Structure 1
Amino acid sequence: MHFDLIVLGSGPAGYVAAIRAAQFGLKTALVENKELGGVCLNWGCIPTKSLLKSANLFQLFKNSNKYGINAKKVELKLEKILARSRNIVEELQKGVAFLIKKNEIKLIYGTAKILEEKTIIVKSKNKKTKYKFSNLIIATGAQPKQLDFPKIPNLVNYKGAMSIREIPNKILIIGSGAIGLEFAYFYNAIGSKVIIVEKHSQILPNADREISIEISKNFKNKGIKLLTNSRIKEIKYLKSKQTQIEIEYFKNKDYIKVNVDYILSAIGITPFTKNLGLENVGIKLTKNGHIKVNEYYETNIKNYYAIGDVIPGFSLAHVASHEAKICVEQIIGLNPKKLNYNNIPRCIYTNPEIAFVGYSEKEALAKGFEIKVGKFPFSALGKAKINGETEGFIKVIFDKKSGEWLGCHMIGKGVTELITEVIIARNLETTHLEVLESTHPHPSINESLVEAIENAYGKSIHF
């Protein structure tokens, strides 16, 4: 059987590529060896945000007195929280399956391997089938990095963390990126004692330093213990079914031992390229194991493409989906616009939420820009006071000479929605003038953006 395009992997890169290709009339097949929707739908973006919503609601009920509401006997049912997240996943899976069927895409379940001469072989149970193609997109995603320690029963990754059927008394999280922080917030909110171990000098090391300081302060106030400049030296599984962990501090070479019920490894992901048969056609990899591609996602071998977490760059669902559209448009010859990776929003769905895009203050200065920086705290915003969520701030960075919007960094309630205004503005090459000339509704969270820009240019009214 021959296809114009075969896509390997049905995550937010793969299924979007397949649908877009089918919309353009390409005879398309989609190969998946596990669950439709990939890690994002099944074990990442979707179910984790469901857990965070439940945790947020639980905290809201517990603190309802400040809104004049007395919510008595607030009880958390972990099994129902987990069941709700799985139900949402199942509903969205059905939605993806419907879209694949609607667009007449051939869905093939099994494990694919690339052969020579534009051919793959798919193994499903005891059956092997060959398929030929004109173009191939590899969108096989990534898997969690493994710790250099023996496997123990209560050492889990993000998938295992969503399958714990009891509220741990104490949980240690290794890594403080988005996954680590979101699970730290979740377990703290439902009653666990949480320890975060981070090898860098600040948690959320890729964020603007002021954002890192603010979330650190917030987490400490919640009772979360932060161990930066640290690493795990030794892990022992005890007869008590707990784990004893020895932690080393880089700066003073001191040690601490703690006993925990669970360890969550959130040290990142590694691209899934093993056993794909890339060597059969000579597809090149980076030193980190990612597939090398050009700016339109073509590998070094003509008609072989790769997108999503399997290539270098941001491991984010919205990036993968955008790459998918560009890649397919390149295949059919539409000469699409390249993706601007400096205008990619990065969001962490803790409470307070975190969102940022573009250069941090440190990065902007390192690039040689003369900058104007403005800030506005949510504690001075009417809508934030109404919401009872006054933690955090908006920080904006502009080029002093041209007025170019270099970056924006937010921490506070609702900022993962607010960041979209910045993305569109930067994509349109908007300067501070266009934003200040645009009337924002009152009271709203959006006003904080205008206030931060006014602060950068010495025109602040409310701060």
Structure 2
Amino acid sequence: MADTNYDVIIIGSGPGGYVTAIRAAQLGLKTAIVEREHLGGICLNWGCIPTKALLRSAEMMDHANHAKSFGLKLEGKMTADVKDVVARSRGVSARLNGGVGFLMKKNKIDVIWGEAKLTKPGEIVVGKPSKPAVEPQHPAPKGTKGEGTYTAKHIIVATGARPRALPGIEPDGKLIWTYFEAMKPEKMPKSMVVMGSGAIGIEFASFYLSMGVDVTVVELMPNVMPVEDDEISKFARKMLEKRGMKIITEAKVSKVDKAADSITAHVETKDGKVQQITADRLISAVGVQGNIENLGLETLGVKTDRGCIVIDGYGKTNVPGLYAIGDVAGPPMLAHKAEHEGVVCIEKIAGLPNVHPMDKGKIPGCTYCTPQVASVGLNEAKAKAEGRDIRVGRYQFNANGKAIALGEDAGMIKVIFDKKSGELLGAHMVGAEVTELIQGFVVAMNLETTEEDLMHTIFPHPTLSEMMKESVLDAYGRVLNA
């Protein structure tokens, strides 16, 4: 039975699962990972990566449509071949999917192909998947193990999440889409309603808008991207609407009527008024829910809350030897959170010294629409709600030479400091490439950097990053280039 017994078994090979498996192997633990559909999970196959490939195509389309403003001439009209756009996106995913398989072999991690169920502490039974994959299931890679009973001292659940469905507006794969269908349209719709303006909803809304689709976004909260700082959200909304996106906030889709090849969404605003919007397709992007079903959690008495597994700061559940990480363990449901959570969990299991729980207040969030949005830490409203005495600094893209040269001069950086200590409490950005810039502030927060440290840091010129320093200077009345 030696080949079925491990130190660690991880259920799910998404970013959290496969990164945790690699770290476990590095620490000398005999490790196996169970997967039922595709290595790399949703992120590599249907989420983070392929959407960025689609958005890159959209970005190229936007640049081409504004070539004249750069002194360039394009002969004829720029058009998109939807099949080729989708094929490129799927190709990017396939390349990374293969890369995860290579990493498993390189680190001598056994891959067990099938669906795992917890039967008792320290044991799982792997069988055939109880539900079909999102598309024809990937064949088991060569060298993988299959159905059977496996044991381990430590079992980590990393089964991720799936799109949430609203009663009466369930996705049907034809007229009402989740991100699965939105990722690979057979033809480009002429019009679309997007229900929900979180990262998933607004990224798809931005992509389809760039592709020439008439897009209407319906959001229940007062602002689009409601988790973002109010000022940043309002700035982003203006820019999205300037691009031609229609946005209805403080409203909900209460009903959807289906025709042969179109839908009619009944949009109810907070004052009770209802308007009907007819479009070719509707994307349901109202959040995700953890994959906790069919795992045997009830058999072991594992505590759950609002569809997620309850854990402590090190991934431990209430059942000894059982852990959970990533989306299935609760928000924020982000790939980089899952990866770090998994590393913390496995390093604690291995007994490494000085392992600290993840600080959720220092997890960056990025939305890759046009304009991009990125943030970390407290927004202004939350800082005030905590009773903080704060300083706020702002800097506009239209005062930055690099942004002007790029033709990307619409955007803003906002920073929030504790007035007494100089602690950087939060940073919020909207504009070109802010998803790359935000990490500078993430590092600063992790190093407990003060405003004085940032003011004495030399940023290269000409770059967009200079605006980060200028925003800090603005918070203290010392801005130089505004």
TM-score band by shorter chain is over 0.9
- Give yes or no for the alignment of 1:225 onto 2:246: yes
- Give yes or no for the alignment of 1:103 onto 2:122: no
Change (3 A) 1:401 1:59: same
In structure 2, the residue matched to 1:375 is: 394
- Give yes or no for the alignment of 1:137 onto 2:156: yes
- How far apart are residue 438 of structure 1 and its match? 1.1
- How far apart are residue 248 of structure 1 and its match? 0.6
- How far apart are residue 119 of structure 1 and its match? 1.0
In structure 2, the residue matched to 1:162 is: 183
In structure 2, the residue matched to 1:258 is: 277
Q: After the TM superposition, which residues 266-277 of structure 1 pair with which residues of structure 2 at under 5 Å, given as runs? A: 266-277=285-296
- Give yes or no for the alignment of 1:457 onto 2:460: no
- How far apart are residue 75 of structure 1 and its match? 2.4
Q: After the TM superposition, which residues 345-356 of structure 1 pair with which residues of structure 2 at under 5 Å, given as runs? A: 345-356=364-375
Q: 2:46 aligns with which of 43, 48, 55?
A: 43
Q: 1:438 aligns with which of 434, 441, 457?
A: 457
In structure 1, the residue matched to 2:223 is: 202
In structure 1, the residue matched to 2:345 is: 327
- Give yes or no for the alignment of 1:298 onto 2:336: no
Match of 2:384, SS state, is helix
Maintained 8 Å contact 2:169/2:255: no
- Give yes or no for the alignment of 1:406 onto 2:425: yes
What letter matches 2:68 in structure 1? Answer: N
Match of 2:185, SS state, is coil
Distance in 1 of aligned mates of 2:41 and 2:177: 19
- How far apart are residue 125 of structure 1 and its match? 7.5
Match of 1:313, SS state, is coil
In structure 2, the residue matched to 1:116 is: 120
In structure 2, the residue matched to 1:424 is: 443
- How far apart are residue 62 of structure 1 and its match? 1.0
- How far apart are residue 117 of structure 1 and its match? 4.0
Once the two structures are superposed, residues 223-243 of structure 1 have per-residue CA deviations (whole angstroms, 9 ceiling, x without a partner) of 11111111112111114x211
- How far apart are residue 77 of structure 1 and its match? 1.2
Distance in 2 of aligned mates of 1:401 and 1:149: 52
Match of 2:116, SS state, is strand
Q: 2:97 aligns with which of 93, 98, 101?
A: 93
Q: 1:182 aligns with which of 203, 206, 213?
A: 203
Once the two structures are superposed, residues 63-110 of structure 1 have per-residue CA deviations (whole angstroms, 9 ceiling, x without a partner) of 011111112222211111100011111111111100001111110110
Distance in 2 of aligned mates of 1:210 and 1:229: 17
Percent sequence identity over matched residues? 41
Distance in 2 of aligned mates of 1:347 and 1:124: 36
In structure 1, the residue matched to 2:263 is: 243
- Number of aligned residues: 460
Match of 2:84, SS state, is helix
Maintained 8 Å contact 2:22/2:107: yes
Q: 1:69 aligns with which of 61, 66, 72?
A: 72
Once the two structures are superposed, residues 25-58 of structure 1 have per-residue CA deviations (whole angstroms, 9 ceiling, x without a partner) of 1111100011110000000000000000000011
Q: 1:316 aligns with which of 311, 315, 334?
A: 334
Maintained 8 Å contact 2:121/2:321: no
Distance in 2 of aligned mates of 1:174 and 1:150: 10
Match of 2:309, SS state, is coil
Distance in 1 of aligned mates of 2:404 and 2:377: 28
Distance in 1 of aligned mates of 2:399 and 2:460: 16
Distance in 1 of aligned mates of 2:292 and 2:121: 19
Distance in 1 of aligned mates of 2:239 and 2:188: 22
Distance in 1 of aligned mates of 2:192 and 2:129: 38
Once the two structures are superposed, residues 145-172 of structure 1 have per-residue CA deviations (whole angstroms, 9 ceiling, x without a partner) of 0121155431010111012121111000
- How far apart are residue 128 of structure 1 and its match? 4.1
In structure 1, the residue matched to 2:143 is: none
Match of 1:58, SS state, is helix
Distance in 1 of aligned mates of 2:452 and 2:129: 61
What letter matches 1:306 in structure 2? Answer: A
Structure 1: gaps spanning 5 or more residues: none
What letter matches 1:2 in structure 2? Answer: N
Structure 2: gaps spanning 5 or more residues: 131-145
Distance in 1 of aligned mates of 2:79 and 2:221: 37
Change (3 A) 1:125 1:150: closer
Maintained 8 Å contact 2:121/2:322: no
Match of 2:308, SS state, is coil
- How far apart are residue 124 of structure 1 and its match? 3.3
Maintained 8 Å contact 2:121/2:320: no
Taking structure 1 as the reference length, what is the TM-score of the superposition? Answer: 0.98
